[in-house]
Amino acid sequence: MNLIDAIRTIPDYPKPGILFRDITTLLGDPRAFRQSIDELVQPYAGLKLDKVAGIEARGFIIGGAVAHQLSAGFVPIRKKGKLPHDTVSIAYSLEYGVDQMEIHADAILKGEKVVLVDDLIATGGTATAAAQLLRNLGADVVAACFIVDLPDLGGADRLRAMNVPVTTLVEFAGH
């Protein structure tokens, strides 16, 4: 199955000129969802990974399934104020300002091998901040994987510049 066919494009969302790549259609298609998880897991099969970290919110869906397949633990990376225990946070830039994300302070043990997961990589602001947050806790960020890459926005290259290998399943050039 060609996964790109399972992803809906919504023009002018959330603002004019943006082509929003909506993976909810892929998630709703059992074959496409299974294939996506199988392809995301494949590069790491047989490696001893400790954790999969998923970025809120679609990264929870994908990351949970990837962690299950890899027999690894799952760690949520959430927006500020959403986690109930002691947290570590990091601020990162958005197009329109600054935001923060958090992880439980005890979610990662020093030296644990972690794969970062989200649905889409665009400019890489969120993903690079998440990778730094994991490293701040002592994680060995083995890789990052995404279903969709918008390569013209350079996010995957930003992660690679941090020495984080990146796997993506489909690209939308010109986003």
Quote the CA–CA distance of 168 and 145 in Å, as a whole number. Answer: 6
**Cα distance between residue 10 and residue 64, in whole Å:** 26
CB 26 within 8 A of CB 7: yes
Q: Which pLDDT score, from 0 to 100, does residue 94 have?
A: 73
Q: What are the residue ranges in the chain where pLDDT is below 50?
A: none
CATH fold for domain 48-171: Rossmann fold (3.40.50)
Helix (H) or strand (E) holding 33: helix 30-41
> Catalytic residue at 58?
yes
The DSSP result for 103-166, as a single string, is: EETTSS-TT-EEEEEEEEESS-HHHHHHHHHHHHTT-EEEEEEEEEE-GGG-HHHHHHHTT--E
Question: Cα-flanking dihedrals φ and ψ of residue 82, to 5°?
Answer: -100, -15
Does residue 61 sit in helix, strand or coil? helix
H helix or E strand, kind and range, residue 60: helix 58-70
Are 123 and 61 contacting, i.e. CB atoms less than 8 angstroms apart?
no
pLDDT at 95: 66
pLDDT in tens, 138-171: 999 999 999 999 999 999 999 999 999 999 999 9
Q: Which helix (H) or strand (E) covers residue 53, if one does?
A: strand 51-55
Candidates 8, 31, 56, 58; catalytic one: 58
